[in-house]
């Protein structure tokens, strides 16, 4: 599913659009080198389409904002638990949850202090830093690359080498990611056929295609709803790691004792909230469908399936050992290398674990 780029984030979308659309497009644009005004543009332009008309964060009063990269669906379930269960309130914070969308770039919202912390795409954050933004990546919600090659379980494509002789559907905006993955896997694309794909994965369900590129929590669940059991090959498992849903904050905020403590408190709430979301996908979906994303006409079944899928990319051995959002040296190095395959020149010094170290204090839970 690919949503229309002109859809405002507070306009209802179909449940399928809400599952896959605009954040996908933004991610693919930055990974593929598309033109995005991630730094230097006016904050007013960057804020276009944001619902709620929020004012600037005021850390001195305990009122701060968390900026999402996408609409309020189950993608941000941990934040809904943190808010509704009072995890932030208990730490002296009043956190406004700001929805994202096609006309909003997260980085200027954080740089302008309209949000204390933002959740964004890793490549987008890196590009902003390369353009001079005063930002650091302080955590990662998705520990595994959520991009997948999807096939039917009855004719599964299990390894990159299995692509030989196959017909693979790839959307135009997915092509840079897919090409970088082939390079990482040393696969010659002349050994199989790439077919232009629209947003509908039906050609895979009917057997017209052998596989398609997609997102772990989206197209596979669409196929399941249609009665087709998919096989998903995570690109992360074959030489293309990429942390995603990264948290960003200003370096100057990290250097300010009062703001730093509020960032720590905000991330503590996020950790507690995501622990709840992972433990209860149904309740997470309910918060998205009937409360925080009530105006989006989200489909409950899709949201539950998406949340259950996200568990696989959010929770890993590293997070079990060190805490959610942890960024190991290996994960940082792998992400840097993968981004460079897509011509996004990240470096390890753009990432810092200092906030998470304060959040967890050597433990794996808050």
Domains of the chain: 15-144+242-360 (3.40.190.10), 147-238 (3.40.190.10)
Q: Would you give the DSSP letter of residue 364?
A: S
Q: What is the pLDDT of residues 330-341, one digit of tens each?
A: 999 999 999 999
User: Is 18's pLDDT higher than 70?
Assistant: no
User: Is 227's pLDDT higher than 90?
Assistant: yes
User: Is 44's pLDDT higher than 50?
Assistant: no
CA of 173: how far to CAs of 24, 130, 140, in Å?
A: 9, 23, 23
Banded pLDDT at 22 (limits 50, 70, 90): very low
pLDDT at residue 41, as a whole number:
38
Whether 314 and 141 have beta carbons less than 8 Å apart is answered as yes
Interaxial angle between packed helices 122-130 and 15-31, expressed in degrees from 0 to 180 and rounded to the nearest 10: 40
Whether 83 and 31 have beta carbons less than 8 Å apart is answered as no
Which residue from 53, 4, 10, 69 is spatially nearest to 293, judged by alpha carbons?
10
Q: Which residues contact 52 (CB under 8 A, 6 or more apart)?
A: 96, 98, 99
Mean pLDDT of 218-229: 93
pLDDT at residue 15, as a whole number:
39
User: Is 148's pLDDT higher than 90?
Assistant: yes
User: Is 25's pLDDT higher than 80?
Assistant: no
User: Is 38's pLDDT higher than 90?
Assistant: no
Backbone phi, psi, residue 273, to 5°? -65, -40
pLDDT at residue 54, as a whole number:
44
Measured CA to CA, the distance from residue 79 to residue 292 in angstroms comes to 10
pLDDT at residue 352, as a whole number:
98
User: Is 104's pLDDT higher than 60?
Assistant: yes
Mean pLDDT of 138-147: 96
**pTM value?**
0.83
Measured CA to CA, the distance from residue 171 to residue 189 in angstroms comes to 16
State the chain's mean pLDDT as an integer. Answer: 87
DSSP string over 94-121: EEEEE---TT--HHHHHHTTS-SEEEE-
Backbone phi, psi, residue 95, to 5°? -100, 120
The encoded tokens of residue 118 equal 């933002």
Whether 350 and 251 have beta carbons less than 8 Å apart is answered as no
Q: What is the pLDDT of residues 242-298, one digit of tens each?
A: 999 999 999 999 999 999 999 999 999 999 999 999 999 999 999 999 999 999 999
Count of CB atoms situated within 10 Å of the CB of 130: 15
User: Is 19's pLDDT higher than 70?
Assistant: no
Q: 149: which strand partners?
A: 213, 233
Report the range of poorest mean pLDDT among 26-35, 180-189, 253-262, 309-318: 26-35
The encoded tokens of residue 343 equal 């011509």
Mean pLDDT of 295-314: 96
DSSP string over 163-187: GTT-EEEE-GGGHHHHHHHHHHHT-
Triad 338, 344, 347: Cα angle to 5°: 75
Between 116 and 218, residue with greater pLDDT: 116
Dihedral in degrees, nearest 10, Cα atoms 31, 35, 38, 39: 130
User: Is 32's pLDDT higher than 60?
Assistant: no
- Residue 205 in 3-state DSSP? helix
Q: What is the pLDDT of residues 46-76, one digit of tens each?
A: 333 333 344 467 767 799 999 999 999 999 9
Length of the chain: 366
Whether 80 and 284 have beta carbons less than 8 Å apart is answered as yes
User: Is 30's pLDDT higher than 80?
Assistant: no
DSSP string over 273-311: HHHHHHH-HHHHHHHIIIIITGGGT--HHHHHHHHHHHH
pLDDT at residue 13, as a whole number:
38
Banded pLDDT at 173 (limits 50, 70, 90): confident
């Amino acid at each position: 599913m690919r949503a229309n780029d002109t859809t405002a984030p507070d306009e209802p979308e179909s449940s399928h659009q809400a599952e896959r659309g605009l954040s996908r497009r933004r991610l693919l644009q930055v990974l593929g080198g598309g033109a995005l005004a991630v730094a230097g543009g006016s904050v007013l332009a960057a804020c276009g389409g944001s619902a709620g008309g929020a004012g600037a964060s005021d850390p001195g009063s305990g009122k701060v904002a968390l900026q999402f990269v996408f609409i309020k669906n189950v993608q941000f379930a941990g934040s809904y638990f943190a808010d509704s269960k009072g995890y932030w309130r208990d730490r002296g914070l009043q956190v406004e949850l700001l929805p994202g969308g096609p006309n909003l770039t997260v980085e200027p919202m954080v740089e302008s202090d309209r949000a204390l912390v933002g959740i964004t795409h890793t490549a987008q954050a890196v590009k902003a830093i390369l353009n001079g933004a005063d930002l650091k990546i302080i955590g990662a919600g998705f520990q595994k690359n959520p991009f997948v090659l999807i096939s039917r379980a009855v004719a599964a494509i299990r390894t990159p080498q299995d692509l030989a002789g196959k017909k693979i559907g790839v959307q135009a905006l997915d092509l840079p990611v897919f090409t970088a993955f082939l390079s990482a896997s040393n696969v010659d694309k002349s050994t199989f056929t790439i077919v232009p794909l629209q947003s509908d994965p039906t050609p895979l369900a009917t057997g017209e295609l052998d596989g398609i590129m997609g997102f772990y929590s989206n197209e596979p669940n669409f196929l399941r709803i249609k009665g087709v059991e998919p096989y998903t090959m995570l690109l992360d498992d074959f030489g293309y790691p990429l942390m995603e849903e990264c948290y960003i904050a200003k370096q100057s905020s990290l250097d300010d004792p009062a703001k730093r403590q509020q960032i720590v408190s905000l991330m503590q709430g996020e950790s507690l909230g995501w622990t709840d979301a992972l433990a209860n996908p149904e309740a997470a979906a309910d918060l998205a469908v009937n409360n925080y994303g009530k105006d989006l006409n989200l489909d409950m079944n899709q949201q539950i399936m998406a949340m259950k899928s996200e568990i696989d990319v959010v929770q890993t051995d590293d997070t079990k050992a060190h805490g959610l959002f942890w960024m190991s040296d290996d994960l940082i190095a792998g992400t840097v290398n993968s981004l460079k395959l897509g011509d996004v020149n990240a470096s390890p010094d753009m990432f810092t674990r200092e906030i998470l170290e304060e959040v967890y204090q050597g433990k794996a839970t808050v």
